[in-house]
Amino acid sequence: WYQRRVRAARPYLLGRLMWLSASYLKMLPSEEALNALFECTCSSLKVGTPAPVMVGAMKAVYTMAAELEDEEEQKVLHKPMEVIIPSLFELASHMDGDLLML
């Protein structure tokens, strides 16, 4: 379902939406909503995802890490990091500089 939505949506707006959602991480109504955001972000980091979506997802990851200030809060990011770190290297090695400036 998610992959169909990414192809149908405007990639730039979808990337920006993830980034903006991450800014309000602490205001999410439930842990289920938090997990949905993590799942969406991690799914956006897979090969074949439009570049603006991948860049938005990386910005969302950075914003999430900045929003979670305490060590206890940051533990939520440990499991998704298994997907995020390799995707970061993939993104950096295959994108040109202009695209990464998004």
pLDDT of residue 1: 46
Q: Count other Cβ atoms within 10 Å, centred on residue 84.
A: 19
Burial degree of 14 (CB within 10 A; 0-12, 13-18, 19+): buried
Per-10-residue mean pLDDT of the chain, 102 residues long, equals 59 88 84 83 83 86 83 76 80 67 60
- Distance, CA of 41 to CA of 34 (rounded, Å): 11
